[in-house]
Copies of this chain bind each other. A is one copy, B any other.
Amino acid sequence: MSTDSKPRKTGGKSQKKPAAGKPAVTPSPARRRELLATAAEVFAAHGYSATTVRRIADEAGLLAGSLYYHFDSKESMLDEILSTFLDELWAGYDAVLAAGLGPRETIEALVTESFREIDRHRAAVAIYQNESRQLAARPRFGYLADSQRKFEKAWLGTLERGVAEGVFRPELDVRLTYRFVRDTVWVAASWYRPGGHHGPEEIARQYLSMVLDGIAVRD
Contacts and interface: CB of A to CB of B under 8 A. Distances in A.
A9 interface: no
Interface stretch (A92-100, A116-124, A185-193): A185-193
Interface stretch (A57-65, A74-82, A83-91, A139-147): A57-65
Interface string A208-219: 001111111110
Nearest to A166: B217
Contacts of A167: 216-217
A210 B216 contact: no
Contacts of A177: 206, 210, 215
B168 A22 contact: no
Q: Which interface residue of A177, A184, A211, A215 has the most chain B CB atoms within 10 A?
A: A215
A218 B45 CA distance: 41
| Identical copies of this chain, number | 4
A168 B203 contact: no
A133 interface: yes
Given A47-B49, A180-B184, A215 B61 contact: no
Nearest to A175: B197
A81 to B, nearest CB: 17
B215 A172 contact: yes
A60 B166 contact: no
A130 B190 CA distance: 10
Given A133-B190, A183-B183, A169 B217 contact: yes
A217 B58 contact: no
Contact of A210 (B23, B58, B214): B214
A62 B22 CA distance: 7
Contacts of A133: 190
A46 interface: yes
13 contacts: A20-B60, A21-B60, A21-B62, A47-B131, A167-B217, A168-B215, A169-B216, A169-B217, A173-B198, A176-B203, A180-B188, A212-B214, A213-B216
Interface of A: 15-17, 19-23, 45-50, 55, 57-63, 104, 130-131, 133-134, 166-169, 172-173, 176-177, 179-180, 183-184, 187-188, 190-191, 198, 203, 206-207, 210-218
